[in-house]
Structure 1
Amino acid sequence: MRLTSFSVSGYRSLKQIRLDLGQVSIFVGENGVGKSNLYRALQLIKASAEGRLAREIAGEGGMASALWSGKRRMGQPVRIVIEAEFLDDETAAKYTYKVEIGLPPPVSAGFAFEPHVKDETLAVDAGRRPVEMMTRKGQAIFARDADGRRVEHPERILNSETALALLGGAGRYPEIGDLRAALSGWRFYHGFRTDAESPVRRSALATTSPMLDEDGANLAAVFATLRHIRGDTVELDRCIAEALGGAQLDVPVPAQTATFGLVLPEFPQRIFRPQELSDGQVRFLALAGALMSYRLPKLIALNEPEASLHPRMMPALADMIAAAAERTQVWIVTHSRELADLVRERTGARALTVMRRDGATTIEGMRATGMMPEED
């Protein structure tokens, strides 16, 4: 289930923007232009699939902070509208999911400023014409079951809930369940804590871990899975040595917990544990766990992965991104033009420059309608 396009309007600095996406998407821009808002808007799609959409918006300041604060046309509804298109590579079916979020009416059973889902739809085009698989108006939901019949879901939905999450887990609606499962598997790595109590500096329970958690808490188990179960860390070892001045990753056979360390060329007889490593070393190792794990999610989103990294680490980071892109989609938001150029050399993906125009976040070359012109 591959993300092919993404559009959002009315969210923070994103007045109206639409993007066609490939295997690697790179967004470069200065501070304050709204790059992180693009990242957050994409994250809200996953939150919708997991039933956390209202909580995520409330957690970032509520609708008052989330809504576009610029000028609106008279009579235009005050809404955040997010739409995403997907391609199922196995069946060639196209999925289009759309959700509109607004404020509750003056007289409402909900809380005064919590996000309310106003409209929500899912359509699937298998080659003839789009078929509406799910539509939601207020608290009523209509969907197509496994036999293709349009039925009303028996359960009434709360205004703050999403139908994608509710129906996707019901087991009665295959297409909705497929999309929900794909989105729930996305991973967003918004930096990694590197303080003394950081999850990535701790040991992890010795369980097979094919994929890195979003906070990096199972990093030691991810390394142990690669070293002792998969039995192949050649590329991982090469990237770590290149980025960290010839350092070697040490991953002992786990007992009850998994651990790791670095052997530095200056001190070949000593293993430096995570608590002794620098912030840049720890952050690079966490990125290595995210991008080179045994199994990758359907999409990896990285927000400013270059933070705290020495410039000499950039080529190895670009190598890991390129290797990950052979197995999954990668979305990168970065300040670093150097990193963007290195990724382009390895993948052919052209970086899009994020900028501000009249207070709204846009992409260099994007039309006033929020769409990019056709490219040859």
Structure 2
Amino acid sequence: MDLPVREFAASGYRSLQRIVYPVSRLDVLVGANGVGKSNLYRALELLRAAAANGLGAQLAQEGLEAALWAGPRRSEPVQIGLGVTLASPHRTDATLRYDVAVGFPPPTAAAFQLEPQIKTERLTHATSQRKVVLAERDGPSVMARGEDGRPATVEIDLLASETMLGRLEDPSRYPALDLLRRTLLEWRFYHDLRTDPGSPLRRPCTAVAAPNLASDGSNLAAVFATLAHIRGDTAELDALIERAFPGAKLVVPTPDATASFGLRLPDFPRRVFDAAELSDGTLRFLALAGALMAYRLPPFVALNEPESSLHPDLMEPLGALIAKASERTQVWLVTHSERLAAAVEASGAGAVRTVLKRNGATAIEGLTPFGAFRDDED
């Protein structure tokens, strides 16, 4: 059951002093280097990490001191705040909201000195009439409402860097928390589709039906084989490849123990070039096609600079691919390419938003502090 994202919020994280963003079906963020586009993308990744119980570990790898907002601070605690609002599956006017705050542990905490500590978490169900806190964590203490709707203390051993969202796994007693966790875990982030000689994209993979592409692209051959030999329909994929590489044809052999693919090029019609032989740009474009045309798309897909290593003439086919994917899922696109942003905007599928810096803080042109765009209000 998909829960569409309605709003995303981040504060105190790197250049994100405070951002509240109303998420749509397709969001395109474009801007110069250093304005914080990747920080927005990374903050969304950290929300997924909270569901996987890896938020503390990922911030520790970044270095919490480096990850904290470095600009002027008021008297409030020095913390990173993340939040996401999802549509409720039961009512059109209802939402589920998850918030988490992370900071340094106090000297008396059962944590390492520089270990990120999950300070608070809260899951809220809201309708137009009322708002109910379904689960809440304050330090090591956890409260959750059970099947009877009554709040009760939950006996759970939480380490400082662990999340309630990742640890409190009991679908029958806490169905909303479980649904939120499973939804976030299904999100996919594509920024590390390597094309070097050792890239997993260049190797055959185990032949197991693949509904969607792994974040590192390691099952790309299985994604293509699933479309070709299980769904039995590659018409849209073939049309995309023809538009991007006129005269080329994707070849997907029937898998045995492994799945593989290759490309037949117009200059050499009798030979199939396997994945290990393809150019970086060609292989990366095929990986993006696998990510966005897979048998079953994740509920939320984030792309960070997908134009890297692609020829400029591929921006229009890529823009069309992204726009088409937004009919099946929500897409968050971060790009340096004005040409790609223009190609997406020309499709009419989503609005292009300009990311900029104001007084050292990431800002988005036209976005108010309360999470609405002025052009939407008009």
2:239 aligned partner: 238
Equivalent residue for 2:228?
Answer: 227
1:251-290 correspondence to structure 2 within 5 Å: 251-290=252-291
How far apart in 2 are the matches of 1:89 and 1:126?
Answer: 12
TM-score, normalized by length of structure 2? 0.96
Q: What SS does the corresponding residue of 1:71 show, helix, strand or coil?
A: coil
Paired position in structure 2 for 1:175: 176
Match of 2:202 in 1: 201
Q: Does 1:12 align with 2:14?
A: yes
What's the CA shift for 1:172? Answer: 2.2
Distance in 2 of aligned mates of 1:375 and 1:143: 37
Say which is worse superposed, 336-345 or 362-371, in terms of deviation: 362-371
> How far 1:126 moved relative to its partner?
4.1
Aligned to 2:42: 40
Alignment of 1:338-353 (within 5 A): 338-353=339-354
The aligned counterpart of 1:122 is 123
> Displacement of 1:109 after TM fit?
1.7
Supply the distance in 1 between the matched residues of 2:373 and 2:265 (Cα, whole angstroms): 48
Comparing 291-300 with 79-88, greater Cα deviation is found at: 79-88
The residue number in structure 2 matching 1:54 is: 56
Secondary structure in 2 aligned to 1:30? coil
Deviations along 1:69-102, one digit per CA (max 9) or x if unpaired, are 11111x2210111111111255333011110111
Residues 1:188 and 2:184 aligned together: no
For 1:153 and 1:222, how far apart are their aligned partners in 2? 41
For the 8 Å contact 2:323–2:349, the answer to whether it is kept is no
Instruction: Measure the CA separation in 1 of the matches of 2:121 and 2:36.
Output: 26
What is the Cα deviation at residue 323 of structure 1?
Answer: 1.6
Secondary structure, aligned partner of 1:308: coil
Task: Deviation per CA, 1:227-275: give whole Å up to 9, x if none.
Answer: 0000111110111111123210000000100000000011100000111
Aligned to 1:84: 84
TM-score, normalized by length of structure 1?
Answer: 0.96
Is the 1:141–1:156 Cα contact (8 Å) retained in structure 2? no
Unmatched 5+ stretches in structure 2? none
Structure 1 residue 177, shift from structure 2 partner: 0.4
Within a 5 Å distance, the mapping from 1:67-82 to structure 2 comes to 67-73=68-74, 75-82=75-82
- What is the identity, as a one-letter code, of the residue corresponding to 1:121? R
CA–CA separation in structure 1 for the residues paired with 2:80 and 2:90: 32
Q: Which 10-residue stretch deviates more, 109-118 or 361-370?
A: 361-370
SS where residue 86 of structure 1 aligns? strand
User: What is the CA deviation profile of residues 304-355 of structure 1, one whole-angstrom value per residue up to 9, with x for unaligned ones?
Assistant: 0111111121121112112211111000000011111111122341111011
Deviation at 1:157, TM superposition (A): 1.4
Superposed CA offset, 1:46-73 (max 9, x none): 100110101111122x211110011111
| Deviation (angstroms), 1:169 | 5.0
Task: Give the alignment of 1:84-103 within 5 angstroms.
Answer: 84-92=84-92, 93-103=94-104
Letter in 2 for 1:25: D
Give the root-mean-square deviation of aligned CA atoms: 1.5
Q: Which moved more, 1:278-287 or 1:127-136?
A: 127-136
Percentage identity across paired residues of the two chains: 50
Alignment of 1:276-355 (within 5 A): 276-355=277-356
Give yes or no for contact 1:22–1:329 (8 Å, CA) kept in 2.
Answer: yes
1:155 aligned partner = 156
1:260–1:348 Cα change, 3 Å: closer
- Report the count of equivalent residues: 374
Q: For structure 1, which segment, 22-31 or 357-366, has the greater mean C-alpha deviation from structure 2 after superposition?
A: 357-366
Q: Which moved more, 1:10-19 or 1:90-99?
A: 90-99
| Letter matched to residue 79 of structure 1 | Q
In structure 2, the residue matched to 1:359 is 360
Q: How many Å separate the matches in 1 of 2:341 and 2:170?
A: 38
Q: Which runs of 5+ in 1 are unaligned?
A: none
Alpha-carbon contact 2:192-2:215 (below 8 Å) kept: no
Check conservation: 1:2, 1:87, Cα contact below 8 A: yes
Q: Secondary structure at the match of 1:284?
A: helix
Find the aligned partners of 1:188 and 1:22 in 2 and give their Cα distance: 17
The worse-fitting range, judged by mean Cα deviation, of 128-137 and 218-227 is: 128-137
Shift of 1:362: 0.7
Q: Which amino acid aligns with 1:20?
A: P
Is the Cα–Cα contact under 8 Å of residues 22 and 372 in structure 2 kept in the other structure?
A: no
Distance in 1 between the 2:249 and 2:331 partners?
A: 27
How far apart, CA to CA, are the structure 2 residues paired with 1:213 and 1:169? 26
1:208 is displaced (CA, Å) by: 0.7
Segment of structure 1 superposing worse, 27-36 or 361-370: 361-370
Distance 1:370 1:112 in 2: 35
Change (3 A) 1:370 1:298: closer
Equivalent pair of 2:188/2:298 in contact (CA under 8 Å) = yes
Contact 1:248 1:262 in 2 (8 A): yes
- The Cα shift of 1:369 comes to 7.2
Classify 1:370/1:361 alpha carbon distance in 2 versus 1 (closer, same or farther; 3 Å). Answer: farther
Q: What is the Cα deviation at residue 371 of structure 1?
A: 6.1
Q: Is the 8 A contact 1:2 1:89 kept in 2?
A: no
- Whole-Å separation in 2 of the counterparts to 1:309 and 1:178: 37
The residue type paired with residue 284 of structure 1 is F
Residue 59 of structure 2 is aligned to residue 63 of structure 1: no
Q: CA deviation at 1:171?
A: 4.4
Q: Per-residue deviation at 1:127?
A: 4.6
